[in-house]
Structure 1
Amino acid sequence: MGEVNDWKSDRISSAYRGENPMVITKLKSGFAVIGDTQFLPGYCLLLPYRYVNSLNDLDYQQRTEYLLDMTIIGDAIQEVCSPKRINYSIYGNTDAFLHAHIFPRYTWEPEERKFNPVWQYPKNKWTDGKYHYTDEKHLGLKNTIGETLVTLSKSAY
Protein backbone atom coordinates (compact mmCIF):
# COMPACT_ATOMS: atom_id res chain seq x y z
CA MET A 1 0.00 0.00 0.00
CA GLY A 2 1.29 3.46 -0.93
CA GLU A 3 1.96 6.51 1.12
CA VAL A 4 -0.82 8.94 2.02
CA ASN A 5 0.55 11.63 -0.37
CA ASP A 6 1.45 9.36 -3.33
CA TRP A 7 -0.97 11.42 -5.43
CA LYS A 8 1.46 14.35 -5.22
CA SER A 9 4.07 12.52 -7.31
CA ASP A 10 1.66 12.30 -10.27
CA ARG A 11 -1.07 14.87 -9.81
CA ILE A 12 -2.68 14.48 -13.23
CA SER A 13 -2.89 10.66 -13.25
CA SER A 14 -4.09 10.66 -9.65
CA ALA A 15 -6.81 13.14 -10.65
CA TYR A 16 -7.96 10.74 -13.37
CA ARG A 17 -8.05 7.91 -10.84
CA GLY A 18 -10.05 10.02 -8.39
CA GLU A 19 -7.18 9.90 -5.89
CA ASN A 20 -6.12 13.56 -5.98
CA PRO A 21 -8.01 15.17 -3.07
CA MET A 22 -7.30 18.68 -4.36
CA VAL A 23 -9.47 18.30 -7.47
CA ILE A 24 -12.38 20.72 -7.44
CA THR A 25 -13.96 19.80 -10.76
CA LYS A 26 -13.23 18.88 -14.36
CA LEU A 27 -13.28 21.67 -16.92
CA LYS A 28 -13.05 21.47 -20.70
CA SER A 29 -9.24 21.54 -20.77
CA GLY A 30 -8.25 20.02 -17.46
CA PHE A 31 -8.73 19.67 -13.73
CA ALA A 32 -9.36 22.69 -11.51
CA VAL A 33 -7.59 22.03 -8.21
CA ILE A 34 -7.29 23.98 -4.99
CA GLY A 35 -3.76 24.95 -3.99
CA ASP A 36 -1.82 22.95 -1.42
CA THR A 37 -1.32 26.15 0.54
CA GLN A 38 -4.08 28.63 1.31
CA PHE A 39 -2.34 31.65 2.85
CA LEU A 40 -4.13 33.52 0.05
CA PRO A 41 -7.59 31.95 0.36
CA GLY A 42 -8.89 30.59 -2.91
CA TYR A 43 -5.52 29.89 -4.56
CA CYS A 44 -6.17 27.35 -7.33
CA LEU A 45 -4.40 25.70 -10.24
CA LEU A 46 -5.40 24.29 -13.60
CA LEU A 47 -3.85 20.93 -14.51
CA PRO A 48 -4.22 19.84 -18.15
CA TYR A 49 -5.68 16.44 -18.95
CA ARG A 50 -2.35 15.23 -20.31
CA TYR A 51 1.24 16.01 -19.50
CA VAL A 52 2.75 18.52 -21.90
CA ASN A 53 5.87 20.57 -21.40
CA SER A 54 4.31 23.97 -22.04
CA LEU A 55 1.31 25.88 -23.33
CA ASN A 56 3.02 25.99 -26.72
CA ASP A 57 2.79 22.20 -27.00
CA LEU A 58 -0.99 22.47 -27.31
CA ASP A 59 -2.67 23.21 -30.63
CA TYR A 60 -4.47 26.53 -30.99
CA GLN A 61 -7.88 25.16 -30.01
CA GLN A 62 -6.45 23.47 -26.91
CA ARG A 63 -4.60 26.65 -25.93
CA THR A 64 -7.79 28.66 -26.29
CA GLU A 65 -9.71 26.23 -24.09
CA TYR A 66 -6.91 26.08 -21.51
CA LEU A 67 -6.57 29.83 -21.20
CA LEU A 68 -10.35 30.30 -21.08
CA ASP A 69 -10.63 27.69 -18.32
CA MET A 70 -7.81 29.42 -16.43
CA THR A 71 -9.76 32.68 -16.47
CA ILE A 72 -13.02 30.94 -15.54
CA ILE A 73 -11.25 29.69 -12.41
CA GLY A 74 -10.23 33.31 -11.80
CA ASP A 75 -13.85 34.40 -12.23
CA ALA A 76 -14.98 31.81 -9.69
CA ILE A 77 -12.34 32.89 -7.17
CA GLN A 78 -13.35 36.52 -7.76
CA GLU A 79 -17.00 35.73 -7.12
CA VAL A 80 -16.42 33.56 -4.04
CA CYS A 81 -13.49 35.32 -2.34
CA SER A 82 -13.83 38.96 -3.48
CA PRO A 83 -10.11 39.67 -3.87
CA LYS A 84 -8.79 42.95 -5.21
CA ARG A 85 -7.46 41.17 -8.30
CA ILE A 86 -6.48 37.80 -9.72
CA ASN A 87 -2.91 36.98 -10.77
CA TYR A 88 -2.24 34.23 -13.32
CA SER A 89 1.08 32.51 -13.84
CA ILE A 90 2.44 29.64 -15.90
CA TYR A 91 6.05 28.67 -15.30
CA GLY A 92 6.99 24.99 -15.26
CA ASN A 93 10.51 25.57 -13.97
CA THR A 94 10.15 23.49 -10.81
CA ASP A 95 7.40 21.08 -11.91
CA ALA A 96 8.33 20.71 -15.57
CA PHE A 97 4.86 20.32 -17.05
CA LEU A 98 2.10 22.73 -17.99
CA HIS A 99 0.05 23.95 -15.05
CA ALA A 100 -1.39 27.38 -14.33
CA HIS A 101 -1.45 29.10 -10.94
CA ILE A 102 -4.42 31.34 -10.19
CA PHE A 103 -3.78 33.58 -7.18
CA PRO A 104 -6.25 35.94 -5.55
CA ARG A 105 -4.60 39.09 -4.23
CA TYR A 106 -6.14 40.96 -1.32
CA THR A 107 -6.16 44.46 0.13
CA TRP A 108 -5.32 42.99 3.56
CA GLU A 109 -1.95 41.63 2.40
CA PRO A 110 1.09 43.24 4.06
CA GLU A 111 2.15 46.46 2.31
CA GLU A 112 5.57 45.03 1.50
CA ARG A 113 3.91 42.12 -0.35
CA LYS A 114 1.09 43.87 -2.23
CA PHE A 115 3.15 44.98 -5.20
CA ASN A 116 5.42 41.95 -5.52
CA PRO A 117 4.85 38.58 -7.14
CA VAL A 118 3.30 36.04 -4.82
CA TRP A 119 6.44 33.88 -5.13
CA GLN A 120 8.30 36.47 -3.04
CA TYR A 121 6.29 35.60 0.05
CA PRO A 122 8.48 34.00 2.74
CA LYS A 123 9.16 30.27 2.45
CA ASN A 124 7.10 29.50 5.57
CA LYS A 125 3.90 30.58 3.76
CA TRP A 126 4.50 27.69 1.36
CA THR A 127 5.78 25.10 3.83
CA ASP A 128 4.21 25.76 7.27
CA GLY A 129 1.39 23.33 7.96
CA LYS A 130 -0.85 26.06 9.35
CA TYR A 131 -1.26 27.39 5.80
CA HIS A 132 -1.79 24.00 4.14
CA TYR A 133 -5.16 23.01 2.73
CA THR A 134 -7.22 20.84 5.05
CA ASP A 135 -10.81 19.71 4.64
CA GLU A 136 -11.52 20.97 8.15
CA LYS A 137 -10.50 24.53 7.29
CA HIS A 138 -11.06 24.79 3.54
CA LEU A 139 -13.59 22.23 2.27
CA GLY A 140 -16.42 24.78 2.31
CA LEU A 141 -14.33 27.17 0.21
CA LYS A 142 -13.34 24.37 -2.19
CA ASN A 143 -16.97 23.29 -2.63
CA THR A 144 -18.23 26.84 -3.16
CA ILE A 145 -15.55 27.52 -5.77
CA GLY A 146 -16.51 24.22 -7.41
CA GLU A 147 -20.22 25.05 -7.57
CA THR A 148 -19.40 28.47 -9.01
CA LEU A 149 -17.01 26.92 -11.56
CA VAL A 150 -19.67 24.49 -12.80
CA THR A 151 -22.13 27.35 -13.33
CA LEU A 152 -19.59 29.64 -15.02
CA SER A 153 -18.15 26.96 -17.30
CA LYS A 154 -21.63 25.99 -18.53
CA SER A 155 -22.25 29.55 -19.66
CA ALA A 156 -18.77 29.87 -21.24
CA TYR A 157 -19.04 26.88 -23.58
Structure 2
Amino acid sequence: MTGSPDGDGWTHDRVGAARRGENPMVLLRMRTGWAVIGDTQHLPGYCVLLFDGEADHLTDLTRARRAEFLFDLALLGEAVENACRARDPEFSRINYEVLGNHWPHLHGHVHARYRWEPDRFRGGPVWRYGVERYAEQHRTGPEHSDLRARLATAITTITAGAY
Protein backbone atom coordinates (compact mmCIF):
# COMPACT_ATOMS: atom_id res chain seq x y z
CA MET A 1 0.00 0.00 0.00
CA THR A 2 2.92 2.35 -0.39
CA GLY A 3 3.96 4.20 -3.50
CA SER A 4 3.82 2.35 -6.78
CA PRO A 5 6.91 1.64 -8.87
CA ASP A 6 5.62 3.91 -11.64
CA GLY A 7 5.75 6.91 -9.31
CA ASP A 8 2.10 8.01 -9.52
CA GLY A 9 1.74 11.00 -7.19
CA TRP A 10 -1.55 9.81 -5.71
CA THR A 11 0.07 6.63 -4.34
CA HIS A 12 2.17 8.65 -1.90
CA ASP A 13 -0.94 10.11 -0.22
CA ARG A 14 -3.75 7.69 -0.96
CA VAL A 15 -6.17 9.12 1.59
CA GLY A 16 -5.50 12.74 0.62
CA ALA A 17 -5.88 11.81 -3.04
CA ALA A 18 -9.21 10.12 -2.24
CA ARG A 19 -10.41 13.26 -0.44
CA ARG A 20 -9.42 15.36 -3.45
CA GLY A 21 -11.08 12.96 -5.92
CA GLU A 22 -7.67 12.03 -7.38
CA ASN A 23 -7.32 8.41 -6.24
CA PRO A 24 -8.40 6.32 -9.25
CA MET A 25 -8.85 3.20 -7.12
CA VAL A 26 -11.75 4.59 -5.06
CA LEU A 27 -14.95 2.61 -5.30
CA LEU A 28 -17.01 4.41 -2.66
CA ARG A 29 -16.73 6.70 0.35
CA MET A 30 -17.87 4.76 3.42
CA ARG A 31 -18.57 6.18 6.90
CA THR A 32 -15.02 5.72 8.19
CA GLY A 33 -12.97 5.77 5.04
CA TRP A 34 -12.53 4.91 1.42
CA ALA A 35 -13.28 1.54 -0.15
CA VAL A 36 -10.70 1.05 -2.88
CA ILE A 37 -9.97 -1.73 -5.33
CA GLY A 38 -6.51 -3.15 -4.68
CA ASP A 39 -3.53 -2.19 -6.80
CA THR A 40 -3.32 -5.80 -7.94
CA GLN A 41 -5.97 -8.39 -8.66
CA HIS A 42 -3.98 -11.61 -8.28
CA LEU A 43 -7.07 -12.88 -6.45
CA PRO A 44 -9.91 -10.98 -8.15
CA GLY A 45 -11.88 -8.77 -5.82
CA TYR A 46 -9.03 -7.67 -3.54
CA CYS A 47 -10.08 -4.42 -1.85
CA VAL A 48 -8.85 -2.18 0.95
CA LEU A 49 -10.62 0.14 3.37
CA LEU A 50 -8.47 3.25 3.94
CA PHE A 51 -9.30 4.96 7.22
CA ASP A 52 -10.08 8.65 6.65
CA GLY A 53 -8.33 10.22 9.60
CA GLU A 54 -5.15 10.16 11.60
CA ALA A 55 -4.59 6.69 12.99
CA ASP A 56 -1.86 4.12 12.70
CA HIS A 57 -3.28 1.40 14.95
CA LEU A 58 -6.84 0.24 15.41
CA THR A 59 -6.39 1.07 19.08
CA ASP A 60 -5.70 4.73 18.19
CA LEU A 61 -9.47 5.04 17.69
CA THR A 62 -12.08 5.34 20.37
CA ARG A 63 -13.97 2.10 20.92
CA ALA A 64 -17.02 3.52 19.17
CA ARG A 65 -14.99 4.66 16.15
CA ARG A 66 -13.15 1.33 16.11
CA ALA A 67 -16.49 -0.50 15.96
CA GLU A 68 -17.58 1.74 13.05
CA PHE A 69 -14.36 1.03 11.14
CA LEU A 70 -14.65 -2.73 11.68
CA PHE A 71 -18.33 -2.59 10.67
CA ASP A 72 -17.36 -0.81 7.44
CA LEU A 73 -14.66 -3.44 6.84
CA ALA A 74 -17.28 -6.18 7.29
CA LEU A 75 -19.63 -4.39 4.89
CA LEU A 76 -16.83 -4.13 2.33
CA GLY A 77 -16.17 -7.85 2.75
CA GLU A 78 -19.85 -8.63 2.26
CA ALA A 79 -19.86 -6.56 -0.94
CA VAL A 80 -16.72 -8.28 -2.23
CA GLU A 81 -18.26 -11.66 -1.45
CA ASN A 82 -21.48 -10.81 -3.30
CA ALA A 83 -19.67 -9.44 -6.35
CA CYS A 84 -17.14 -12.29 -6.55
CA ARG A 85 -19.64 -15.09 -5.89
CA ALA A 86 -21.81 -13.79 -8.76
CA ARG A 87 -18.77 -13.55 -11.04
CA ASP A 88 -16.94 -16.81 -10.28
CA PRO A 89 -18.58 -20.07 -9.13
CA GLU A 90 -15.22 -21.06 -7.61
CA PHE A 91 -15.41 -18.26 -5.03
CA SER A 92 -15.04 -19.80 -1.57
CA ARG A 93 -14.66 -17.17 1.18
CA ILE A 94 -13.44 -13.76 2.34
CA ASN A 95 -10.32 -13.16 4.43
CA TYR A 96 -9.92 -9.95 6.45
CA GLU A 97 -6.68 -8.40 7.71
CA VAL A 98 -5.71 -5.25 9.57
CA LEU A 99 -1.94 -5.29 9.43
CA GLY A 100 -0.19 -1.94 9.24
CA ASN A 101 3.29 -3.45 9.20
CA HIS A 102 4.26 -1.91 5.88
CA TRP A 103 2.22 1.29 5.66
CA PRO A 104 1.74 3.11 8.99
CA HIS A 105 -1.84 4.26 8.38
CA LEU A 106 -4.91 2.35 9.53
CA HIS A 107 -6.38 0.25 6.73
CA GLY A 108 -8.03 -3.12 6.34
CA HIS A 109 -7.56 -5.70 3.58
CA VAL A 110 -10.39 -7.78 2.12
CA HIS A 111 -9.24 -10.80 0.12
CA ALA A 112 -11.54 -12.96 -1.98
CA ARG A 113 -10.45 -16.59 -1.93
CA TYR A 114 -11.17 -19.28 -4.51
CA ARG A 115 -11.28 -23.05 -4.82
CA TRP A 116 -9.06 -22.80 -7.92
CA GLU A 117 -6.10 -21.59 -5.83
CA PRO A 118 -3.24 -24.10 -5.53
CA ASP A 119 -3.62 -26.31 -2.44
CA ARG A 120 -0.34 -25.07 -0.96
CA PHE A 121 -1.70 -21.49 -0.82
CA ARG A 122 -5.43 -21.98 -0.30
CA GLY A 123 -5.13 -22.83 3.40
CA GLY A 124 -2.96 -19.89 4.44
CA PRO A 125 -2.81 -16.11 4.19
CA VAL A 126 -2.52 -14.56 0.73
CA TRP A 127 0.91 -13.21 1.64
CA ARG A 128 2.29 -16.74 1.18
CA TYR A 129 2.03 -16.17 -2.57
CA GLY A 130 4.99 -13.80 -2.25
CA VAL A 131 6.01 -11.40 -5.00
CA GLU A 132 3.83 -13.28 -7.51
CA ARG A 133 0.90 -11.24 -6.16
CA TYR A 134 2.53 -8.03 -7.39
CA ALA A 135 3.53 -9.20 -10.87
CA GLU A 136 2.76 -6.77 -13.66
CA GLN A 137 0.10 -9.02 -15.19
CA HIS A 138 -1.93 -8.70 -11.96
CA ARG A 139 -1.88 -4.89 -11.76
CA THR A 140 -5.35 -3.40 -11.73
CA GLY A 141 -6.16 -1.87 -15.09
CA PRO A 142 -8.83 -1.39 -17.75
CA GLU A 143 -9.34 -5.16 -17.99
CA HIS A 144 -10.82 -4.99 -14.48
CA SER A 145 -13.54 -2.47 -15.35
CA ASP A 146 -16.32 -5.08 -15.07
CA LEU A 147 -15.03 -6.27 -11.69
CA ARG A 148 -14.67 -2.68 -10.52
CA ALA A 149 -18.26 -1.91 -11.56
CA ARG A 150 -19.58 -5.03 -9.80
CA LEU A 151 -17.72 -4.12 -6.62
CA ALA A 152 -18.92 -0.50 -6.65
CA THR A 153 -22.52 -1.59 -7.20
CA ALA A 154 -22.33 -4.20 -4.43
CA ILE A 155 -20.81 -1.72 -1.95
CA THR A 156 -23.39 0.93 -2.80
CA THR A 157 -26.25 -1.54 -2.35
CA ILE A 158 -24.95 -2.96 0.93
CA THR A 159 -24.16 0.39 2.53
CA ALA A 160 -27.56 1.77 1.51
CA GLY A 161 -29.19 -1.02 3.49
CA ALA A 162 -26.74 -0.87 6.41
CA TYR A 163 -26.56 2.87 7.08
TM-score by length of 1: 0.93
Unaligned runs of 5+ in 2: 1-5, 86-90
Amino acid at match of 2:153: E
Query: What is aligned with 1:109?
Result: 117
How far did residue 4 of structure 1 move? 6.2
Distance across 1 between alignment mates of 2:82 and 2:102: 30
Moved over 6 A (4+): none
Query: Of residues 147, 152, 156 in structure 2, which corresponds to 1:150?
Result: 156
- The answer to whether the aligner puts 1:133 opposite 2:133 as a matched pair is no
Q: What is the TM-score when the length of structure 2 is the normalising length?
A: 0.90
Which residue identity does 1:12 align to in structure 2? V
1:87 paired to 2:114 = no
Q: Percent identity?
A: 39
Cα RMSD over matched residues? 1.2
Q: What are the within-5 Å matches in structure 2 for residues 5-154 of structure 1? A: 5-82=8-85, 83-126=91-134, 128-134=135-141, 136-154=142-160
Say how many residue pairs are matched: 153
Give 3-state SS (helix, strand or coil) of 1:122's partner: helix
Provide the C-alpha distance between the structure 2 equivalents of 1:50 and 1:94, rounded to a whole number of angstroms.
18
